[in-house]
Amino acid sequence: MRYCRLDGLAKDVSLVALGTGAFGAGRGWREAFRLLDRYAELGGTVLDTAQVYPPSNPGEGERIIGHWLRRRGMVSRMVISTKGGHPRIATMEQSRLSPEDLREDVMQSLERLGVDRLGLYWLHRDDEAIPVGEILDVVFGFQEQGLIGAIGASNWSRQRLEAARAWARQEGKPGFAASQMGWSLAEVSGPVAYAGMLYVGEAERAYHAETGLPLFAYSSQARGFFGPKGLAACAGDEKARRSLAGYVSASNRGRLERAVRLAEKKGCTPNQVALAYLLSQPWPVVAIAGCGSVAQVEDSCGAADVRIEMEAIDRLTYPT
């Protein structure tokens, strides 16, 4: 495993984070514990969750993680990466970024996780009708109270990220420690997201490369596009195609073929190449891997040991 550091955090951040969005829904406590145990054994340190995970039973994911942290004695080792300020699932059009909403979410997350401090706290959504200073003033207040460590922006546009950076400079605050958006080697070509989810394009890549702002990439494995399911979908399997809606395209088929060839040369899997594509960018990137089995945890964590040169990154992205 490889690691990086974030402003506001004393702990090492593993370059592969374990996505836990299905904990408490598709994955029960016993299965979740198996995934968490193996991830920790492989050197992983970042557990990515949220106040609304899973959408069918909000908060259950945090409860499972909190129980595991206490049972395994892992509170001091793990970076708890959780999010608040997300609209209620039933009323996604109603913003929840008021001071009262944000405090409610922070306090509930602390209680469910059974910790005194949230290591990396994300604003899960933005509301561009609210000046950035009004939102950030609240969360930096939580930081000053010792309730949270580093602060991140999930699904914030680059324009709002830049406005937040300018506000932080003016106020003498540390600013966002990282940004979180959807990103993978496979381009998104259709509806794959809930309302408000943002994906990295060329402009976002350029912004992060220029500023050096660390990026946490969700949907980093494109729903398994770079595994057997993607190969089946590209071969015409209709069930696989439906499960990968938004990713099956001529462009992505070419990226998968090039990832397969590079994986053969490097002695790894195509999925590891896809994750290493993110981890080999010229600024810090953490890939959030949502894994459904111990084998998938092992494959995803193994990607941290795969290095890809910039020339190969360009070849993966574009046809030669």
In-domain check, residue 285: yes
User: What does the pLDDT read at residue 90?
Assistant: 85
In-domain check, residue 234: no
In-domain check, residue 215: yes
CATH code for the domain of 109: 3.20.20.100
User: Does residue 180 contact residue 122 with C-beta atoms inside 8 Å?
Assistant: yes
Which residues make Cβ contacts (< 8 Å) with residue 100, sequence separation at least 6?
Answer: none
In-domain check, residue 247: no
Residue 70, pLDDT > 70, answer: yes
Q: Which of 281, 298, 202 has the alpha carbon at shortest distance from 4?
A: 281
In-domain check, residue 232: no
Domains held by the chain: number: 1
In-domain check, residue 314: no
User: What does the pLDDT read at residue 188?
Assistant: 87
In-domain check, residue 235: no
Q: What is the pLDDT of residues 206-258, one digit of tens each?
A: 999 999 999 999 999 999 999 999 989 888 889 988 888 889 999 999 999 99
Q: Which domain holds residue 65?
A: 3-222+274-306
In-domain check, residue 46: yes
C-alpha torsion angle, residues 165, 169, 175, 177 (rounded to 10): 80
Segment of 173-177, 230-234, 269-273 carrying the highest mean pLDDT = 269-273
User: What does the pLDDT read at residue 289?
Assistant: 97
DSSP lists the bridge partners of residue 60 as none
Residue 194, pLDDT > 70, answer: no
